[in-house]
Chain A
């Protein structure tokens, strides 16, 4: 089917109180909470909400549940502060710490199952440096099914409209405030505009940034539909993004690119070894420090590295397989069968992933406060794309909940201005331009080239020369992208995603250039600035579009933000700037299990 370019006036127009972009972990929870608070909700997903987002096929376990009697919120906040070399807004992490348990209970109420011991207690396990927050989900394959069923229950259904296969490309702003979005129906090719009182971006990580070693565009660690859409949309709307130089890099099963060790196998007694059969990491918790240790081992004569399970009893291995082979992506067994590998008889080769942006695992995301608000009024962010370090699944649920509540309150207090037609026209050009170049290079080739440059110039260790070449390459790719050709709505979706990936690559290169020190282990290892510089760089590095957004032609600008006073003491860590701690807030809505401090 070769489609024609529809005029900007010929479009599907929708309205709502709260618009949610992305129906994954954070987005579904945001929709449920916003509906509970009385909002008229529109939930958009480029896939189908039943199987979308990072949990498309389920989740193997909870990485960060602070369960009363097992750990304290203070332990958790201190652990995450340490894992981020002190550069965190503790108030944001404290929300995940104090609201996570109520969220586990809320999810149980919906029908999600978590592992309990013979006494009916949550079977949390220890992976972090000090606290125990890891809670297996033996039936984690059903998590999205349960959420979708909850969204489609009669009382919720009347408040939440779901539009599958619609992909926004820009958040629309008026007077610097978010007033809606514009996007593409990826099946019909129709232009879609939405007028909203508030917008929640919950569009996931930028998982399609680096090119996997396999060369397969979609063989990424993250769900490849998560192409950095939310990062690009927030940026063009004028929002600040933070810690973009703190990349996501993970230790994975080589080629399969799925998770291997720390959270699933480690609590059962599995671990990573080098080729000599020795353990080489100090702590299995996924941090930049741990990734630096993995990279050092891989690059040494002791490489490669392996996941070792064969010392475990057969029943334990079967239990691990039961989780790894049925949740997240249930094709891992197929992969091992194809390679002739078996956890019982051999160690499984591991490697490190391509780079990505994801605050669920590291700290790169849209800057939000403890109410999920971005720096653009009316615009909220939650989940992997929101900068709440190491926030993982529970943090995505907690911040979806917070965003749903606060966006509903914001929407109730505002008018609904007409949409900015100049911004709609610019988005129309972005979406349909590839149809004017039917003979232009196809998305697959343009994207492969773009992401190969990401690998060539951005993969740590970083240096000014390579990063600068990256900046040049990504600038040059604007020309390739302008020439890219497409013929179908599906191809238009993929072409728009390439623009998101390019935007994220430029942000990643420029933020990495700006921070002239090394920090967070491998995540920001600068070979030309090998030392940590607490004097100049114990601060957040935030970027934004210099004209204040409005989807105009502004340049990328940077500012630093001081690390807010800690509200939880961090044993063994001395703040280099000497700023004294404050006491933690009493979080009235923090839910059950914790008395306020």
Chain B
């Protein structure tokens, strides 16, 4: 099967400037396990478009680097 590359608007965005290198709180807490640490930057990012817009990632972030947007299809 061909591997298509499709751009997706993901709901959770992380401000890489403020995100703490080495912190994994948002990654640890996401019920859907949709966040991961980018090995190149050491910062968190959304690795799959799977979101209940429930917010533990943002609530637990100690530096307010996480923004939970409503998924585009619902917005």
Binding site for B on A (CB under 8 A): 46-48, 50-52, 56-57, 165, 186-187, 214-220, 223-225, 255-257, 328-331, 334-335, 338-339, 439-441, 485, 490, 493-494
Contact = CB atoms under 8 A, between A and B. Distances in A.
Contacts of B48: 490
Contacts of B29: 48, 50-51
A59 B74 CA distance: 22
B45 to A, nearest CB: 14
Interface of B: 1, 28-33, 47-48, 50-56, 59-60, 68-71, 73-75
B14 to A, nearest CB: 16
A57 to B, nearest CB: 5
7 contacts: A47-B30, A48-B28, A216-B71, A225-B52, A331-B53, A334-B69, A335-B70
A496 B58 CA distance: 28
Contacts of B54: 51, 56-57, 223, 328-331
A329 B73 contact: no
> Most chain-B CB neighbours within 10 Å: which of A255, A331, A334, A493?
A331
Chain A interface main SS type: loop
A225 B1 contact: no
Q: Across chains A and B, which 3 residue pairs bring their CB atoms closest together, nearest first?
A: A51-B56, A47-B31, A439-B1
Contacts of B55: 57, 329-331
B44 to A, nearest CB: 15
Contacts of A214: 71, 73-74
A218 B73 CA distance: 11
Nearest to B32: A225
Contacts of B52: 56, 218-220, 223-225, 329
A216 B73 contact: yes
Contacts of B53: 219, 329, 331, 334
Contact of B31 (A56, A217, A439, A490): A56
A224 B50 CA distance: 9
Contacts of B33: 46-47, 165, 186-187, 490, 493
A338 B75 contact: yes
A51 B74 contact: no
A554 to B, nearest CB: 32
Contacts of B30: 47-48, 51
Given A48-B28, A439-B1, A219 B75 contact: no
Nearest to A222: B52
Given A328-B54, A330-B54, 4 more contacts: A48-B29, A51-B31, A219-B74, A335-B74
Nearest to A212: B74
A25 to B, nearest CB: 14
Contact of A218 (B47, B51, B56): B51
Contacts of A217: 50
A255 B71 CA distance: 10
